[in-house]
Amino acid sequence: MTVVGARIDNRLLHGIVATSWAPRSNANRVMVIDDEVADNPVEKQAMRLGRPTGMATSIISRRVALENFKKHKYDRQRVFIVSKTPEVFLDLINSGVKISELILGGTLTYEGAIKVTNRAYIKKEQLSVYQQILDKECTIISQYVPNDKKIDVSKFIKRSE
């Protein structure tokens, strides 16, 4: 299994992911990892309707994702993963999934959060999670759409310690 893209995005699978990020990554599967959406049949179906053309789609919980990767279910696939939180990606990395770059896309705004861009914020309580991801040799950038300039998120994490 090859993870060809990993993105934090509060809207999960939406137009920009379906038409820009996933196709550009050359993925053949887009995977949404989110406990709430995975347990909500209406949201899950709505998200499936917006899947990228020609790609398989998985909308699963964090537990199921970790189990499936452990069982090597996606070994012959190129997977683009999207989730709302960095904790999901840290769990994947710690379980042996190789992620070389994590894209911080659109997030919600939070009081007291660190502003990376006009669309990307980091909660202060998540700084250690981001640092642990960096420590696992995973680059973290912020980029809303592929044509935007890449912003090195590590500068914001180290500056805030």
- Taken in order of first residue, the domains within the chain and their CATH numbers are 2-159 (3.40.35.10)
Long-range contacts of the stretch 32-40 (C-beta < 8 A, 24+): 32/57, 32/58, 32/59, 32/60, 32/82, 32/83, 33/60, 33/61, 33/62, 33/65, 33/81, 33/82, 33/83, 33/88, 34/59, 34/61, 34/62, 34/83, 34/84, 35/61, 35/62, 35/63, 37/12, 38/64
Question: pTM for the complete prediction?
Answer: 0.94
How confident is the model at residue 144, as a pLDDT? 95
How confident is the model at residue 53, as a pLDDT? 86
How sure is the predictor about 30, in pLDDT bands with cuts at 50, 70 and 90?
Answer: very high
Mean residue pLDDT of the chain comes to 94
How sure is the predictor about 146, in pLDDT bands with cuts at 50, 70 and 90?
Answer: very high
Over residues 115-130, the mean pLDDT reads 95
